[in-house]
């Protein structure tokens, strides 16, 4: 039976304010709260709430046969809690249906997997804990920010307990293969790779209302028929897109919400069902996929150039992650909160010369200058906590001592819990 595996990315970064050079060392607040709230409210009112309501109805009206997945970034969860808690409630209601899966990702929607393994691990654990806290569901599948992935990265992800990994179905790793299967890792037998069908996925956000498109108009009938007409052995269609496609990229008046409403009925007519990522990954892999170099879901190249493609981005990223160990030693909440926030991939993309989508800056140079001013102030704050005069070896020893202490405390707490439980049972 053919199945559609819908997954929606829910992500909106904090808006950085214009931070001037003379503010470095004097003002440690980096955000435009008014712009952040306006952005989130527009997403909530035009996209998230109406789309969630439709999905809730689809689940109810199909007796749970409609299923899908969500990945919600840490910065977005924080902003929704602050500015639109009703959206958190609506996601919690979806979680309670048992038909919606929440995926794990780096909390900061960051490039940490490329720069610092410990930071990556901390962020993944933090994000998973946040999902459990808000929705009562522990993630079992993983998708990296921007679907960034490589064979080596899969090792890090698998060690964290995630053996279902969502990746881009890039032509340069698939070759002649179809994205409509479950694949395995070349040397990690437990890992299952789900590959995005980017052609089918992109029809919804980018071509739905494009009157010049040869297949216009896109209807639920037509979309599901394409799936039905695919070779019988191709049974899994991974349709993954940003949630803002509904109501923001494709406006309400285009009929995008009616398209979403009509999909299940048209799919069921053709014998097509729905699945979540973790359910889809239970299928035996048809083959393995090898990705020796990192890939992403962006652009035609499907590489990391939108975030790491020029000297501006490299300079910013190298300076940012040069203090990762020091920040993780700090206990100051404001500093650690800013650390997570300023790692967001969007800020690096704004510095791109070819793909600065979403930027509010006049040029990549303006975005770079603003970010580096913020980073300069942030680095001063880190240096005040743990000066750069501390040698790396000394820092590593200090970090090891702290980690050992935390491990000992954790072990002692477990012993105390067991003793208290034993005392209660006596």
Q: How does pLDDT run across 200-213, given as a tens digit for each residue?
A: 999 999 999 999 99
CB 208 within 8 A of CB 198: no
**Same domain, yes or no, for 266 and 342?**
no
Q: What percent of the chain has pLDDT over 70?
A: 92
Q: What is the mean pLDDT of residues 344-363?
A: 94
Of 262, 288, 314, at which residue does a domain stop?
288
In terms of DSSP bridges, do strands 182-184 and 192-196 run parallel, antiparallel, or are they unpaired? antiparallel
Residues 309, 283: one domain? no
Range of the domain at 352: 305-402
- The answer as to whether 410 is a domain residue is no
Match 């892999």 to its residue by tokens.
Answer: 285
Residue 352: pLDDT over 90: yes
At residue 15, φ and ψ (nearest 5 deg) are: -85, 125
CB atoms within 10 A of CB 286: 15
299 within domain boundaries? no
Quick check: is 295 in a domain?
A: no
Kindly state the average pLDDT of the residues 111-135.
Answer: 98
66 pLDDT more than 70: yes
Integer Cα distance of 166 and 178 in angstroms = 15
Residue 209 sits in the same domain as residue 236: yes
pLDDT score of 368 more than 80? yes
- Structure confidence by residue, pLDDT tens digits, 394-406: 555 655 555 555 5
Asked if 161 and 139 count as a contact pair (C-beta separation under 8 A), the reply is no
Q: How many domains does the chain have?
A: 2
| Together in a domain, 310 and 249 | no
Domain boundary among 288, 318, 353: 288
Strand 141-143 to 164-168 pairing: parallel
Return the top range by mean pLDDT from 338-342, 352-356, 407-411: 338-342
pLDDT at 194 > cutoff 80? yes
> What are the tokens at 31?
């955000």
Q: Sheet of 182-184: strands edge to edge?
A: 141-143, 164-168, 192-196, 182-184, 287-288
Q: What is the mean pLDDT of residues 212-219?
A: 97
CATH number at 168 reads 3.20.110.20
Shared domain for 216 and 325, answered yes or no, is no
Cis, bond preceding 217 (omega within 30 deg of 0): yes
What is the rounded average pLDDT of the residues 282-301? Answer: 96
Band the pLDDT of 331: cuts 50, 70, 90: confident
Q: In the numeric block, which tokens belong to residue 12?
A: 């909106």
Is 387 domain-assigned?
yes
Q: What is the pLDDT of residue 253?
A: 98
**What value does the mean pLDDT of the chain take?**
94
Residues 24, 144: Cα–Cα separation, whole Å: 32
| Residue 402 confidence (pLDDT) | 52
Token readout for 301 is: 């190249």
- Provide the pLDDT confidence category of residue 258 given band limits of 50, 70 and 90: very high
Confidence of residue 390 (pLDDT cuts 50, 70, 90): low
Structure tokens at 285: 């892999």
Buried b (16+ CB within 10 A) or exposed e, 215-227: eeebbbeebbbeb
According to the model, what pLDDT value does residue 420 have? 73
Assigned domain for 415 exists: no
CA 114 to chain centre: 15
Residues 269 and 310 in one domain: no
Cβ distance 276 to 67 under 8 Å?
yes
Per-residue pLDDT tens digits for 135-174: 999 999 999 999 999 999 999 999 999 999 999 999 999 9
Higher-scoring residue by pLDDT: 311, 387: 311
Question: Do 230 and 272 sit in the same domain of this protein?
Answer: yes
275 with 311, same domain: the answer is: no
Residue 100's SS3 state is strand
If asked whether residues 54 and 127 sit together in one domain, one would say: yes
| Residue 130 resides in a domain | yes
Domain boundary among 263, 288, 313: 288
Res 396: pLDDT: 59
Residue 408 lies in a domain: no
């Amino acid at each position: 039976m053919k199945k559609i595996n819908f997954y929606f990315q829910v992500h909106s970064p904090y808006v950085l304010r214009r931070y001037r050079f003379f503010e470095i060392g004097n003002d440690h607040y980096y955000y435009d709260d008014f712009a952040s709230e306006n952005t989130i409210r527009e997403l909530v009112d035009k996209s998230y709430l109406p789309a969630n309501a439709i999905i809730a109805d689809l689940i109810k009206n199909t007796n749970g046969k409609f299923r899908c997945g969500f990945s919600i970034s840490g910065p977005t969860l924080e902003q929704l809690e602050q500015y639109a808690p009703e959206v958190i409630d609506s996601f919690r209601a979806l979680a309670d249906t048992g038909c919606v899966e929440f995926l794990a990702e780096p909390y900061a929607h960051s490039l940490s997997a490329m720069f610092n393994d410990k930071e990556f691990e901390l962020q993944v654990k933090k994000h998973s804990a946040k999902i459990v806290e808000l929705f009562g569901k522990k993630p079992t599948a993983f998708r990296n920010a921007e679907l960034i992935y490589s064979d080596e990265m899969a090792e890090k992800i698998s060690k964290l307990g995630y053996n279902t990994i969502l990746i881009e179905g890039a032509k340069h790793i698939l070759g002649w293969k179809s994205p409509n299967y479950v694949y395995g890792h070349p040397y990690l037998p437990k890992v299952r790779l789900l590959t995005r069908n980017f052609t089918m996925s992109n029809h919804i956000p980018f071509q739905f209302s494009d009157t010049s498109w040869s297949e216009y108009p896109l209807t639920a009938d037509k979309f599901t028929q394409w799936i039905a007409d695919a070779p019988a052995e191709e049974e899994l269609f991974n349709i993954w897109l940003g949630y803002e496609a509904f109501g923001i990229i494709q406006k309400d008046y285009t009929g995008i919400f009616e398209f979403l409403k009509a999909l299940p009925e048209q799919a069921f007519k053709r014998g097509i069902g729905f699945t979540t990522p973790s359910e889809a990954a239970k299928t035996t892999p048809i083959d393995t996929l090898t990705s020796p170099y990192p890939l992403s879901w962006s652009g035609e190249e499907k590489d990391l150039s939108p975030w790491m493609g020029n000297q501006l981005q490299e300079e910013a990223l190298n300076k940012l992650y040069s203090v990762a160990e020091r920040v993780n030693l700090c206990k100051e909440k404001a500093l650690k909160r800013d650390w997570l926030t300023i790692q967001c991939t969007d800020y690096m993309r704004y510095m791109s010369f070819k793909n600065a989508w979403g930027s509010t800056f006049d040029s990549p140079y303006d975005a770079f200058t603003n970010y580096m001013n913020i980073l300069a102030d942030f680095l001063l704050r880190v240096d005040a906590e743990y000066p750069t005069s501390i040698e790396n070896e000394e820092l590593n020893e200090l970090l090891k001592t702290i980690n050992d202490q935390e491990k000992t405390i954790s072990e002692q707490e477990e012993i105390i819990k067991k003793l208290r439980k034993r005392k209660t049972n006596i």
